[in-house]
Chain A
Amino acid sequence: MWMPLSWAIEHWIGYFHTLTRTFGIVAAWYLFPDARVEAISAVIVAVYIVSLITLERRFQSIKSN
Protein backbone atom coordinates (compact mmCIF):
# COMPACT_ATOMS: atom_id res chain seq x y z
CA MET A 1 0.00 0.00 0.00
CA TRP A 2 2.96 2.32 0.48
CA MET A 3 3.63 2.81 -3.23
CA PRO A 4 0.19 4.25 -4.17
CA LEU A 5 0.30 6.31 -0.96
CA SER A 6 3.62 7.81 -2.06
CA TRP A 7 2.18 8.63 -5.44
CA ALA A 8 -0.97 10.18 -3.93
CA ILE A 9 0.82 12.44 -1.45
CA GLU A 10 3.69 13.21 -3.84
CA HIS A 11 6.37 12.26 -1.32
CA TRP A 12 9.24 9.72 -1.53
CA ILE A 13 8.60 7.96 1.78
CA GLY A 14 6.31 5.22 0.44
CA TYR A 15 8.68 4.29 -2.37
CA PHE A 16 11.51 4.12 0.17
CA HIS A 17 9.40 2.01 2.55
CA THR A 18 8.34 -0.58 -0.02
CA LEU A 19 11.77 -0.95 -1.64
CA THR A 20 13.96 -1.14 1.49
CA ARG A 21 11.42 -3.33 3.28
CA THR A 22 11.00 -5.80 0.42
CA PHE A 23 14.69 -6.22 -0.32
CA GLY A 24 15.51 -6.14 3.40
CA ILE A 25 13.16 -8.94 4.39
CA VAL A 26 14.25 -11.18 1.52
CA ALA A 27 17.90 -10.62 2.50
CA ALA A 28 17.06 -11.30 6.17
CA TRP A 29 15.22 -14.51 5.24
CA TYR A 30 18.27 -15.88 3.40
CA LEU A 31 20.97 -14.52 5.72
CA PHE A 32 19.44 -15.67 9.02
CA PRO A 33 17.82 -19.09 8.39
CA ASP A 34 17.86 -19.91 12.11
CA ALA A 35 16.24 -16.66 13.24
CA ARG A 36 13.92 -15.62 10.44
CA VAL A 37 11.16 -14.04 12.52
CA GLU A 38 13.65 -12.05 14.58
CA ALA A 39 15.64 -10.86 11.55
CA ILE A 40 12.57 -9.93 9.47
CA SER A 41 10.98 -8.12 12.43
CA ALA A 42 14.17 -6.12 12.96
CA VAL A 43 14.21 -5.00 9.31
CA ILE A 44 10.53 -4.01 9.44
CA VAL A 45 10.81 -2.10 12.71
CA ALA A 46 13.86 -0.21 11.39
CA VAL A 47 12.05 0.76 8.17
CA TYR A 48 8.95 1.76 10.16
CA ILE A 49 10.97 4.04 12.46
CA VAL A 50 12.47 5.91 9.48
CA SER A 51 9.00 6.12 7.88
CA LEU A 52 7.35 7.39 11.08
CA ILE A 53 9.94 10.10 11.66
CA THR A 54 9.72 11.20 8.01
CA LEU A 55 5.91 11.24 7.93
CA GLU A 56 5.71 13.15 11.20
CA ARG A 57 8.24 15.75 10.01
CA ARG A 58 6.27 16.07 6.79
CA PHE A 59 3.06 16.59 8.76
CA GLN A 60 4.61 19.17 11.08
CA SER A 61 5.96 21.18 8.13
CA ILE A 62 2.52 21.13 6.47
CA LYS A 63 0.90 22.28 9.72
CA SER A 64 3.30 25.16 10.21
CA ASN A 65 2.67 26.45 6.67
Chain B
Amino acid sequence: MEQVSHASSITPVQNASIPLEQQREDFKKNRFIAMPLAGTVVWALLGISAPFVSELTITWLLYIGTGAIFYLGAGLSYLTGERFFAKKAAKNSFDRLFFVGMIMSLMVFAIALPVAAIDHTTVPLSIAFSQA
Protein backbone atom coordinates (compact mmCIF):
# COMPACT_ATOMS: atom_id res chain seq x y z
CA MET B 1 0.00 0.00 0.00
CA GLU B 2 2.80 2.34 0.97
CA GLN B 3 4.65 1.51 -2.24
CA VAL B 4 1.60 2.23 -4.39
CA SER B 5 1.04 5.66 -2.90
CA HIS B 6 4.76 6.35 -3.19
CA ALA B 7 4.78 5.39 -6.89
CA SER B 8 1.70 7.41 -7.74
CA SER B 9 3.18 10.46 -6.07
CA ILE B 10 6.11 10.27 -8.50
CA THR B 11 4.20 9.86 -11.76
CA PRO B 12 2.31 13.17 -11.91
CA VAL B 13 5.60 15.02 -11.48
CA GLN B 14 7.19 13.16 -14.38
CA ASN B 15 4.40 13.74 -16.87
CA ALA B 16 2.70 16.76 -15.38
CA SER B 17 3.19 18.61 -18.65
CA ILE B 18 1.43 15.93 -20.72
CA PRO B 19 -2.38 15.83 -20.49
CA LEU B 20 -3.94 12.39 -20.08
CA GLU B 21 -5.70 12.73 -23.43
CA GLN B 22 -2.36 13.28 -25.18
CA GLN B 23 -0.87 10.32 -23.30
CA ARG B 24 -3.73 8.20 -24.63
CA GLU B 25 -2.99 9.30 -28.20
CA ASP B 26 0.66 8.31 -27.70
CA PHE B 27 -0.37 5.00 -26.15
CA LYS B 28 -2.66 4.22 -29.11
CA LYS B 29 0.32 4.37 -31.47
CA ASN B 30 1.73 1.16 -29.94
CA ARG B 31 1.78 -2.06 -31.92
CA PHE B 32 0.65 -4.39 -29.06
CA ILE B 33 1.69 -7.66 -30.71
CA ALA B 34 4.72 -8.81 -28.64
CA MET B 35 2.71 -10.13 -25.71
CA PRO B 36 -0.03 -11.86 -27.78
CA LEU B 37 2.70 -13.43 -29.96
CA ALA B 38 4.37 -14.83 -26.85
CA GLY B 39 1.01 -16.12 -25.59
CA THR B 40 0.26 -17.81 -28.91
CA VAL B 41 3.65 -19.59 -28.97
CA VAL B 42 3.41 -20.79 -25.35
CA TRP B 43 -0.21 -22.00 -25.54
CA ALA B 44 0.42 -23.73 -28.87
CA LEU B 45 3.39 -25.59 -27.34
CA LEU B 46 1.31 -26.53 -24.28
CA GLY B 47 -1.54 -27.85 -26.43
CA ILE B 48 0.83 -29.82 -28.66
CA SER B 49 2.78 -31.38 -25.78
CA ALA B 50 -0.25 -32.25 -23.61
CA PRO B 51 -1.08 -35.63 -25.24
CA PHE B 52 2.52 -36.84 -24.88
CA VAL B 53 3.29 -36.08 -21.21
CA SER B 54 1.87 -37.15 -17.85
CA GLU B 55 -0.83 -35.22 -15.98
CA LEU B 56 1.71 -34.07 -13.42
CA THR B 57 4.16 -32.88 -16.08
CA ILE B 58 1.56 -30.90 -18.04
CA THR B 59 0.35 -29.25 -14.82
CA TRP B 60 3.89 -28.04 -14.09
CA LEU B 61 4.37 -27.03 -17.73
CA LEU B 62 1.18 -24.94 -17.52
CA TYR B 63 2.49 -22.99 -14.52
CA ILE B 64 6.01 -22.59 -15.91
CA GLY B 65 4.99 -21.92 -19.51
CA THR B 66 2.34 -19.31 -18.80
CA GLY B 67 4.66 -17.71 -16.24
CA ALA B 68 7.23 -17.35 -19.02
CA ILE B 69 4.84 -15.49 -21.39
CA PHE B 70 5.71 -12.08 -19.95
CA TYR B 71 9.46 -12.65 -20.31
CA LEU B 72 9.10 -14.10 -23.80
CA GLY B 73 6.91 -11.11 -24.73
CA ALA B 74 9.51 -8.73 -23.32
CA GLY B 75 12.15 -10.44 -25.47
CA LEU B 76 9.95 -10.36 -28.57
CA SER B 77 9.21 -6.67 -27.99
CA TYR B 78 12.72 -5.90 -29.22
CA LEU B 79 11.92 -7.65 -32.52
CA THR B 80 8.53 -5.96 -32.95
CA GLY B 81 9.91 -2.51 -32.10
CA GLU B 82 7.87 -2.19 -28.90
CA ARG B 83 10.94 -2.35 -26.59
CA PHE B 84 9.32 -2.89 -23.18
CA PHE B 85 12.22 -1.67 -21.07
CA ALA B 86 13.46 1.15 -23.28
CA LYS B 87 13.97 4.50 -21.60
CA LYS B 88 11.20 6.68 -22.96
CA ALA B 89 11.09 10.45 -23.09
CA ALA B 90 7.92 10.49 -20.98
CA LYS B 91 6.33 7.82 -18.83
CA ASN B 92 2.87 6.88 -20.06
CA SER B 93 0.05 6.46 -17.55
CA PHE B 94 -1.63 3.86 -19.77
CA ASP B 95 1.46 1.61 -19.70
CA ARG B 96 1.16 1.81 -15.94
CA LEU B 97 -2.55 0.93 -16.09
CA PHE B 98 -1.71 -2.14 -18.18
CA PHE B 99 0.96 -3.20 -15.69
CA VAL B 100 -1.43 -2.76 -12.74
CA GLY B 101 -3.99 -4.85 -14.65
CA MET B 102 -1.39 -7.62 -15.00
CA ILE B 103 -0.72 -7.61 -11.27
CA MET B 104 -4.48 -7.78 -10.65
CA SER B 105 -4.81 -10.79 -12.96
CA LEU B 106 -2.09 -12.58 -10.97
CA MET B 107 -4.35 -12.35 -7.91
CA VAL B 108 -6.65 -14.93 -9.55
CA PHE B 109 -4.15 -17.44 -8.11
CA ALA B 110 -5.73 -16.83 -4.70
CA ILE B 111 -8.72 -18.88 -5.86
CA ALA B 112 -6.98 -20.90 -8.61
CA LEU B 113 -4.49 -22.66 -6.30
CA PRO B 114 -7.00 -23.90 -3.67
CA VAL B 115 -9.35 -25.10 -6.42
CA ALA B 116 -6.44 -26.80 -8.24
CA ALA B 117 -5.68 -28.70 -5.02
CA ILE B 118 -9.21 -30.17 -5.22
CA ASP B 119 -9.18 -30.83 -8.99
CA HIS B 120 -5.96 -30.36 -10.97
CA THR B 121 -7.82 -30.34 -14.32
CA THR B 122 -9.01 -26.81 -13.45
CA VAL B 123 -5.43 -25.47 -13.87
CA PRO B 124 -5.60 -24.72 -17.63
CA LEU B 125 -9.04 -23.11 -17.17
CA SER B 126 -7.97 -20.91 -14.22
CA ILE B 127 -4.72 -19.76 -15.80
CA ALA B 128 -6.35 -19.15 -19.17
CA PHE B 129 -9.06 -17.13 -17.49
CA SER B 130 -6.64 -15.03 -15.42
CA GLN B 131 -4.98 -13.83 -18.62
CA ALA B 132 -8.22 -13.05 -20.42
> Do B50 and A38 touch (CB < 8 A)?
yes
> Do A55 and B32 touch (CB < 8 A)?
yes
> Does B101 touch A at the CB level, under 8 Å?
yes
A9 to chain B, nearest CB (A): 5
Q: Output the nearest chain A residue to B125 by Cβ-Cβ distance.
A: A29
- Chain A residues with CB under 8 A of B47: 37-38, 40-42, 45
> Do B43 and A48 touch (CB < 8 A)?
yes
- Chain A residues with CB under 8 A of B132: 2, 17-18, 21-22, 25
Task: Give the size range of A's interface with the partner.
Answer: 20 to 34
> Do A36 and B121 touch (CB < 8 A)?
yes
> Do B129 and A41 touch (CB < 8 A)?
no
Is the contact region of chain A dominated by helix, strand, or loop, or is it mixed?
helix
Q: Using A8-B24, A17-B132, A38-B50 as known contacts, say yes or no to A44 and B39 having CB atoms under 8 A apart.
A: yes
> Do B46 and A41 touch (CB < 8 A)?
yes
Q: Output the nearest chain B residue to A8 by Cβ-Cβ distance.
A: B94
B65 to chain A, nearest CB (A): 10
Partner of A36, one of B94, B125, B131: B125
Q: Output the nearest chain A residue to B102 by Cβ-Cβ distance.
A: A1
> Does A31 touch B at the CB level, under 8 Å?
no
Q: Using A25-B129, A48-B43 as known contacts, say yes or no to A4 and B50 having CB atoms under 8 A apart.
A: no
- Chain A residues with CB under 8 A of B27: 8-9
A residues at B contact (CB < 8 Å): 1-2, 4-5, 8-10, 17-18, 21-22, 25-26, 29, 33, 35-38, 40-45, 48-49, 51-52, 55-56, 59, 62
- For the A-B complex with A44-B43, A52-B40, A55-B33 known, give 4 more contacts whose Cβ atoms are closer than 8 Å: A8-B27, A25-B132, A38-B51, A41-B50
A selection of 27 A-B contacts at a CB cut-off of 8 Å is A1-B98, A1-B101, A2-B132, A5-B98, A8-B28, A9-B28, A9-B30, A22-B129, A25-B125, A25-B129, A29-B125, A36-B125, A37-B46, A37-B50, A37-B62, A37-B124, A40-B47, A41-B43, A42-B47, A43-B128, A44-B39, A48-B39, A51-B36, A52-B40, A55-B31, A56-B33, A59-B33
